[in-house]
Amino acid sequence: MPPALPWTVRLEDDKVVLIDQTALPGQLRFVECRDVECVARAIETMVVRGAPAIGATAAYGLALVAIASSSMDARGLMEDLEAAAARLRRTRPTAVNLFWAVERVMGAARSASGSGDPEEIRRAVVSEAERIAQEDVEANKAIGRHGAELIEDGMTVMTICNAGTLATVWYGTVTAPIYMAWDEGKRFSVIALETRPVLQGARLTAYELHAAGIPVTLIVDGAAAHTIREKGVDLILVGADRILRDGTVYNKIGTYSLALAARAHGVPIFSVAPTSTFDLKSSRSDVRIEERRPEEVTTVRGVRIAPEGIDVYNPAFDMTPPHLLTGIVTEKGILYQPLWLTIARAFNISTTAGH
């Protein structure tokens, strides 16, 4: 079963076309960007969000620069690309896919720059950006095939935030196993946490699954542990914005609380993410968790719900330690405990360094 929505981000001629996720679920609206500043602002303002989608959008932003640059020589074009890459890196600090995609496209540009031909650089940049987007779709489908093994008839699956097709180029990470299992004839239901303060679960996950005809029930974040105990939950699937080599997962705020509830009630919980989300170089002390505007907490759709002048702490993500996870679903397969070891084997790296 394919998602009922088109690609979240795509390159059309001389523009990047994005689904405006701030308008959902009320309106399916598209934003067209013709320069890198528009792309950067789209990432910063969450017109586009979700680690894989952000990565592909950043890659397409560099493609726009390559297409539209007025520089007639290779050196000038590379300077334009380096400036654009620096701007894109400043947009969101936590999602590793952003930096991975920017470096990958810039690597292709630098390799092509040796020719001294600006047209060759342009072709290399656009081709690499398109490759990143297509690989994301294929990785998501592979994730779906592996993750569908975890879902059985009659199950209740819980998730937080939105790691669906809207968080990726297409098909989703957490939703990929859901789509695949449903297509296999399995019948089950999904519980979606609303995901305060921006309500990605209510606005996006519930919208997406409902549009696809999959039974979905929406609950407030604070009802998760109660629902697990009183209603019964068989499986929890969460996304990831960054995964370290020891299996530490950074994901939408509330994931850590959900993992603690899962452990308390013996419910298996898996992070679901492509290998591009893994950061094999950083440690926990290197990761900066993004804190977002107080207005996200003090207002809902422009209506103030808190006193003027109140102090606000608004971390966008939290850190879930690896011992709370049952495993991680990737396009390479399901990685089980001990995660530091299965991750090392999946990436063919040392099993001692960094552990």
Which residues, including other chains, have CB under 8 Å from residue 260's CB and lie 6 or more apart?
324
Active-site residue identified among 80, 136, 241, 246:
241
In residues, how long is the chain?
355
Which residues, including other chains, have CB under 8 Å from residue 22's CB and lie 6 or more apart?
45, 46, 47
Count the Cβ atoms, other than its own, within 10 Å of residue 223.
15
Sheet holding 317-320, edge to edge: 278-279, 242-244, 249-252, 317-320
DSSP secondary structure letter of residue 174: S
318 carries an active-site annotation: no
Cα–Cα distance measured from residue 71 to residue 53, given in angstroms and rounded to the nearest whole number: 29
Cα–Cα distance measured from residue 288 to residue 207, given in angstroms and rounded to the nearest whole number: 31
Write out the two tokens for 107. 């690597």
Q: How far apart are the first and last CA of the chain?
A: 40
Which residues are the active-site residues?
241
